């Protein structure tokens, strides 16, 4: 890939540095100085396939991160998880500082949704925009992380910082059991005072937006059954309504009765007939057999729930179970929920952290970042840390089209985010911590 110098373009568009200290100005200069090298690092990462089930590729991504982090003073380890959760493993790194400032947890992931058989495998560049698998979600975020920490190191502000980094190898396809898959992240969250998730920067109408919440995600599977028979008897006490009417009753009741703020629930797949063939563990496809004059004996539907708090999700699941239990004549039904991703509800502490970030924006001469509507943010790893510490979501690169061929990211946002993070982390590193 041919690359044009990024630094020259950045210097032309850089805002005035309103109220930065000398070390903070040094961090800004460091990020600018390494800009072209960081584009090359991003290309190296993106051109390395690390689909969740490409275990060797995920481990190779961890090795790249290790090579970047160790010279900055981090102790870096690898935790293999193939025999535990059926996934590659996790990188865990630690920088020991003064022990007096705010303890920071940096969260990210090494894997992408693009496996080795995907035709989308390499990065290309056109001006400020790069296209490639994982440029936005979230290899661009990993480069932002490295650029920020390197700037801190060069300016001398990393020395007092107490930082732990947990990069999962299975964010796009979490291994089970989840309590083991996310044990290291939860342990680090219990230690930390703040957490930062380096997934994509939220943007609205061309403006950067701050995120302090993520909705959780829980999958569900509904199964209905009934006695089959000739359609002439349908609705009678003897023949009943059949599995398809029971399925339709339940799904339509979900539509009518569950609505509330910050909640969505989707029906992604429906099958019904005389018999249904579908994998009970992970229904993404299946088949059904039936005739217009035969009462359906089996039905299956799958979908998800996305809620802003775990309490909201629990309440909705109870309502769904109650709806399912109101069977039509001659039918039965069962609904089963997955472990899912927990929610990260907004907190006063996370909102205050966004305020600190906006103080950095002011000193960089950048616009303040408004708070993103949580309905516009999906599930992510930081939710496992949320019960234990406040945090910010979307401290990574800005982009578009994540999880689809043609995924893009903005190089100027990568530079902007690295500067914000370096200054914010440096200020937190010397801020006296409060007892948790």
Task: Write down the pLDDT at residue 12.
Answer: 44
How far is residue 96 from each of residues 62, 100, 270, 401, measured CA to CA in Å? 20, 11, 52, 37
CA distance 317 to 74: 43
Task: Write down the pLDDT at residue 341.
Answer: 87
Q: Does domain 218-337 have CATH number 3.30.70.360?
A: yes
Task: Write down the pLDDT at residue 174.
Answer: 87
φ, ψ of residue 201 in degrees (nearest 5): -65, 130
Task: Write down the pLDDT at residue 278.
Answer: 80
242 and 308 in contact (C-beta within 8 Å)? Answer: no
Task: Write down the pLDDT at residue 62.
Answer: 98
> In the CATH scheme, what is the homologous superfamily, with its name and number, of domain 6-214+344-429?
Zn peptidases (3.40.630.10)
Taking 50 as the pLDDT cut, the residues of the chain under it are 2-4, 11-13
Question: Which residues on neighbouring strands pair with residue 287, listed in sequence order?
Answer: 277
Task: Write down the pLDDT at residue 3.
Answer: 47
Cβ neighbours for 383, distance < 8 A, ≥ 6 positions apart: 214, 216, 341, 342, 343, 344
Domain boundaries, the chain: 6-214+344-429, 218-337
Q: What is the CA radius of gyration of the chain?
A: 25
CA distance 236 to 260: 36
Task: Write down the pLDDT at residue 436.
Answer: 62
Q: Secondary structure of 213-235 in the HEC alphabet?
A: CECCEEEEEEEEEECCCEHHHCC
């Amino acid at each position: 890939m041919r690359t044009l110098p990024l630094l020259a373009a950045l210097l032309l568009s850089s805002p005035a540095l309103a109220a930065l200290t000398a070390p903070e100005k040094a961090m800004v200069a460091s990020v600018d100085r390494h800009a072209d090298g960081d584009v090359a690092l991003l290309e190296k990462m993106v051109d390395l396939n690390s689909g969740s089930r490409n275990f060797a590729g995920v481990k190779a991504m961890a090795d790249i991160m290790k090579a970047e982090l160790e010279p900055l003073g981090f102790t870096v380890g690898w935790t293999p998880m193939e025999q535990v959760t059926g996934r590659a493993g996790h990188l865990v790194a630690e920088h020991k500082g003064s022990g007096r400032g705010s303890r920071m947890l940096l969260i990210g992931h090494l894997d992408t949704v693009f496996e080795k058989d995907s035709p989308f495998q390499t990065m290309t560049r056109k001006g400020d925009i790069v296209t490639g698998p994982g440029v936005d979600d979230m290899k661009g975020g990993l480069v932002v992380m490295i650029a920020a920490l390197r700037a801190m190191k060069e300016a001398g502000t990393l020395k007092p910082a107490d930082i732990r980094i947990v990069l999962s190898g299975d964010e796009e396809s979490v291994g089970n059991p989840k309590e083991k898959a996310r044990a290291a992240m939860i342990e680090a969250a219990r230690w930390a005072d703040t957490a930062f998730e380096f997934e994509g920067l939220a943007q609205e109408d061309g403006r950067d937006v701050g995120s302090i919440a993520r909705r959780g995600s829980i999958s569900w599977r509904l199964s209905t059954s009934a006695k089959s028979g000739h359609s002439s008897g349908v609705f009678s006490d003897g023949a009943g309504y059949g599995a398809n009417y029971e399925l339709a009753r339940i799904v339509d009741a979900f539509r009518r009765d569950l609505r509330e703020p910050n909640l969505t629930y989707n029906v992604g797949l429906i099958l019904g007939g005389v018999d249904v063939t579908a994998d009970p563990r992970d229904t993404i496809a299946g088949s059904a057999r039936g005739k217009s004059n035969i009462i359906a004996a089996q039905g299956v539907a799958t979908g998800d729930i996305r809620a802003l708090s775990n309490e909201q999700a629990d309440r909705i699941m109870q309502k769904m179970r109650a709806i399912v239990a109101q069977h039509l004549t001659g039918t039965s039904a069962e609904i089963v929920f997955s472990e899912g991703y927990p929610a990260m509800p907004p907190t006063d502490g996370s909102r205050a952290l966004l305020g600190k970030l906006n103080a950095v924006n002011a000193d960089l001469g950048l616009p303040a970042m408004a708070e993103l509507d949580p309905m516009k943010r999906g599930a992510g790893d930081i939710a496992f840390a949320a019960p234990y510490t406040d945090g910010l979501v979307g401290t990574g690169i800005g982009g578009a089209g994540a999880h689809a061929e043609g995924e893009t990211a903005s190089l100027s946002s990568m530079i902007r985010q690295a500067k914000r993070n370096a200054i914010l982390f440096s200020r937190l590193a010397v801020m006296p911590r409060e007892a948790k």
